[in-house]
Each structure stands twice: as structure tokens, then as C-alpha cells.
Chain A
Amino acid sequence: MTNTSNSLSSVLKVILVREYLCASRHRQAFINPLVFFAIIIALFPLGVSPEPGFLSLAAVGVVWVGALLSSMLSLDNLFMKDYEDGSLEQMVLSAQPLYLILLVKSFVHWTLTGLPLILISPLLALMLHLDFQHLPVLLLTLIMGTPVINLIGGIGAALTVSLRSSGVLVSLLVLPLTIPVLIFGSGAVQASIDGSVINGHLAILAMLLMLSLTLAPFATSAALKLSVSN
């Protein structure tokens, strides 16, 4: 019998490499949500008001809502391809815990969707006249918040993976559950603009991150087992 911890880490490593390899073959799928994010940001000044005073007030909320919506778009990438070619079935059947496999998948997905989004958000926030000094707080909240959105989104994606077109349905299932992230993410930046303490908001964001890291993969693996078995 081989050493299990060894084989677990090697399985996870194989999955990590495979996920990046698959993603590198479908680059457009990860670029589109970013473009979508930029377009949403551009729509607000066009649709509401280009006036700097208004924009700097609305900037935080607009960036956060844009981040939420564009994260919904990329959720299809999470399991759809693996479901279609059968590799998802292999992951579910694998002797290694599905929980950890899903964490690796989520991590890869976050580095390909959440991280680029965080990287371009300062640029877009500055276009919305957000004060330069609040950018670090915005980045910090996005770094803590986008993994939560990805993890909760994974549950929705797993529940609907057997459907041909699940786009709107996933958003309908997931968006209400991400409201706390939006409240405390934008709340922290708002508090920083108002000059009050932001520790409370950040602590709750951290709690949401910890809760979703520990609990969401359970729900996702239960949903995946269900979707694959049918």
C-alpha cells in the first residue's frame, strides 16, 4: 500500500497543473468576465452621471456590484467542461477527498478570475474618481470577498451543472447569498471614506471567508455527487 498522504498531495498537484493547463487552452473564457466588468463600470457614468462628485460617492458600490456580476459570468467555467468530458465523474469517484479537490479547483479558479479582477479594479476605481488613499482598503476587501463569492458560487454551479444553459439560474441562486459580502465589502471602504474604523467590517469579511472556506465545499461536493450520479 502506498503512503496515502503522499498520494493525496500528488493527486492535488496533478489537479492543480491540469486546471491551469485546461485554462490556458480556453483563455477567452477568463478574459470575457474582465471585459464585462470594465463595461459595467463604464455604464454607470454614462447612464447616471459623469459628475466627479457623484461618481466618487458611488465608486465603491459600483466596483463591488460589477465584481459580483462578472464573477457570476465565470462560474460556468468551474465545472461545465469537466462535466461534459467526464473528468468530473473521475474526481467524484476518486479515492481522495472531494472536499480538498474542490478547494484546489476553487483556488485555481480564483487566481484566474478573482485575482485579475482585483488587479484591474484600482484602475477602474480611479476612473470613478475614488480617492487614491482608499484604494488599499478596496483592494483588501476585494481580496477577502472574491474568494467567498467564488466558493458560494461553486455551490450554485454544482447544483446546475447538469443543465445545458444555466447562466441566469446560477445568478438567481447565488446572488442573494452573496449579499453579506457586498454589504461588508463596500461598507468597509465607505467607513474608510467617512473616516471611521474599518476593523469591524474587515473582521466580518474574514469570518465570511473562513465560514465559506470550511462549509461551502461540503455543499458543493454533495451537489456534485448528486449531479454526476444522474
Chain B
Amino acid sequence: MNWTFFHKLGSPKWFYDISGKLLPWFIFFGFSLLIAGMIWGLAFAPKDYQQGDSFRIIYLHVPSAILAQSCYMMMAAAALVSLVWKMKLADVFIYSAAPIGALFTFLALFTGAVWGKPTWGTWWVWDARLTAMLVLLFLYFGVISLQSALEDAQLASKATSILVLVGVVNIPIIKYSVDWWNTLHQPATFKLTEKPAMVPEMWIPLLVMVIGIYCFFTAVILMRMRNEILLRERKTKWVDALL
């Protein structure tokens, strides 16, 4: 296998060039998929026979919940890369992704609360999956505050990598603990191994939203990373030549 691309990833300049070319595409696909999925889901998808129209918040809730969780997994992968191969870009990714992950976790909790009011009759219950998401939000806050507390950039990014990895070891333990502790939430909507329980008219717009939100996330991450790269590499020749 050719590993050249992997080594190239170590070069901020290469990443800056290539991400500049990819960025417009992600912005375009992100927004068009989100708008299409939103209109399809909110206006054309059939009503739920039990929950009526209130179920439509699923089109925002599920994509943000999926992204919130996978964002932490991506950060953990980047943390491993940063500690093992000492790649600067991995640090930049963790730095850029943490606030966005926290934001999507909050969005998932908020839309969940709005959805919970008509269906469960309450804004908040101490249910296993809600609590696990809340803990995930706390983990994101921990990462963000550690990043900002340590002034030395090198120390901050390495320390954050360790914290993210410690967190990712703990996430399954926390998840199973709260699962055992209490449960009310409906099971996951999408499973890789099974066909979804919903009719296709309902889950296809949801899938469009999920892909759209990933494109949107990638676009935002690329923008934040490019910005951060310029800041961190401001003393190099290529940034000098660029600006």
C-alpha cells in the first residue's frame, strides 16, 4: 500500500492547499443536502401514526446526536495519531473539533428536550442515553477547558490528546453503567446491521440529513483548521508568501 498520502498529511502546507480546493465542495453539498433533507423531512415525509408531526424533530435530533458521538471518536483517533506519530495536523483537528462537538451534543440534548415534552410529557428525564449524552457534553467541556488553561501550545495539545484518549476508554464504561442504571429512551434509529424499523419515506430524508450534516461538519472543521494552521504556522515562509 502506498503511504505517501499519510506522510503528506504531516505537512500543514499540503493540507492547506488541498483543503482549500475541497472546501467549496463540502460547503455546497453540505448546504444543499441539509436544505433538501430539511424540506423533505419537514414537509413531505409521512406523519408518525403515534407521535404525529412532533416526530419530525428527528431530522435534526438524530443527525446531531450521531455527529456528536462520532466527533469524539474522530478526536480520539486524532489523539492517537498525535501521540504516536506527533502529527501537528492531528492536534489542530482536536483543537478545532472540540467546540463543534460540544455544540452538536448540546443541540442533540436541546432537540431531545423539545421532542421529549410532547411525547414523554417532560423536558428532561434521567434516562440512560440522555445522561450519557450529558456526560459526553461534560467530557467536551473538559477538553476545551484544558486546552485553554495550558498556555504552552505544545503542552496543551499533547495533554488534550491524553485526556481525549482517557475519555474514550471511559465512554463505553460510562455508557453501559448508565444503561444498567436507568433506561427509557427508544433504541437507536440506525443500526448498521439491521434494516431500519421506519418506512423508507421516513428514513431516506433522515439519511440525507445525516450525510448533509457530515458535509457541513467537514466544511466547518476545514475552515477552522485552515485558520488555526495559519495562526500556528505564521512564522513560516509559505504563510508569509501567502498573505
Interface residues of A (CB under 8 A from B): 155, 159-160, 162-163, 166, 169, 172-173, 175-177, 179-180, 183-184, 187, 204, 208, 211, 215, 219, 222-223, 226-227, 230
By the criterion CB–CB under 8 Å, are A219 and B162 in contact?
A: yes
By the criterion CB–CB under 8 Å, are A179 and B162 in contact?
A: no
Across the interface, which residues of B come within 8 angstroms of A230, CB to CB? Answer: 152, 154-155
Instruction: A178 to B173: give the CA distance in the assembly, Å.
Output: 10
By the criterion CB–CB under 8 Å, are B162 and A180 in contact?
A: no
Specify which of B135, B150, B165, B177 is in contact with A219 (CB 8 Å cutoff).
B165
By the criterion CB–CB under 8 Å, are B155 and A226 in contact?
A: yes
Interface set, chain B 26-63, CB cutoff 8 A to A: none
User: What's the dominant secondary structure at chain A's contact region?
Assistant: helix
Given contacts A163-B150, A176-B139, 8 further A-B contacts (CB under 8 A): A159-B163, A177-B166, A177-B170, A183-B180, A184-B177, A219-B166, A226-B159, A227-B159
Contact with A along B166-205 (1 / 0, CB 8 A): 1101100110011011000000000000000000000000
By the criterion CB–CB under 8 Å, are B154 and A169 in contact?
A: no
> With an 8 A cutoff between CB atoms, is B138 at the interface?
yes
Specify which of A169, A175, A179, A226 is in contact with B149 (CB 8 Å cutoff).
A169
Count of CB-CB pairs between chains A and B under 8 Å = 71
By the criterion CB–CB under 8 Å, are A176 and B159 in contact?
A: no
Q: B57: shortest Cβ distance to chain A, in Å?
A: 27
> With an 8 A cutoff between CB atoms, is B106 at the interface?
no
Instruction: A39 to B73: give the CA distance in the assembly, Å.
Output: 40
Across the interface, which residues of A come within 8 angstroms of B139, CB to CB? Answer: 176
Contact with A along B77-109 (1 / 0, CB 8 A): 000000100000000000000000000000000
The number of residues on chain B lying at the interface, defined by a beta carbon within 8 Å of a beta carbon of chain A, is 28
> With an 8 A cutoff between CB atoms, is B142 at the interface?
yes
Given A172-B142, A173-B146, A226 contacting B158 (CB threshold 8 A): yes
> With an 8 A cutoff between CB atoms, is B11 at the interface?
no
Instruction: A171 to B174: give the CA distance in the assembly, Å.
Output: 17
Instruction: A172 to B139: give the CA distance in the assembly, Å.
Output: 8
Given A177-B166, A177-B170, A184-B177, A160 contacting B142 (CB threshold 8 A): no
Across the interface, which residues of A come within 8 angstroms of B170, CB to CB? Answer: 177, 180
Q: Which 3 A-B residue pairings sit nearest by Cβ, starting from the closest?
A: A180-B177, A176-B138, A230-B155
By the criterion CB–CB under 8 Å, are A180 and B158 in contact?
A: no
By the criterion CB–CB under 8 Å, are B162 and A226 in contact?
A: yes
Across the interface, which residues of B come within 8 angstroms of A211, CB to CB? Answer: 173
Across the interface, which residues of B come within 8 angstroms of A160, CB to CB? Answer: 146, 149-150
By the criterion CB–CB under 8 Å, are B145 and A169 in contact?
A: yes
By the criterion CB–CB under 8 Å, are B154 and A222 in contact?
A: no
> With an 8 A cutoff between CB atoms, is B141 at the interface?
yes
By the criterion CB–CB under 8 Å, are B169 and A215 in contact?
A: yes
Q: A157: shortest Cβ distance to chain B, in Å?
A: 12
By the criterion CB–CB under 8 Å, are A176 and B177 in contact?
A: no
By the criterion CB–CB under 8 Å, are B165 and A180 in contact?
A: no
Residue of A nearest to B131 (CB): A179
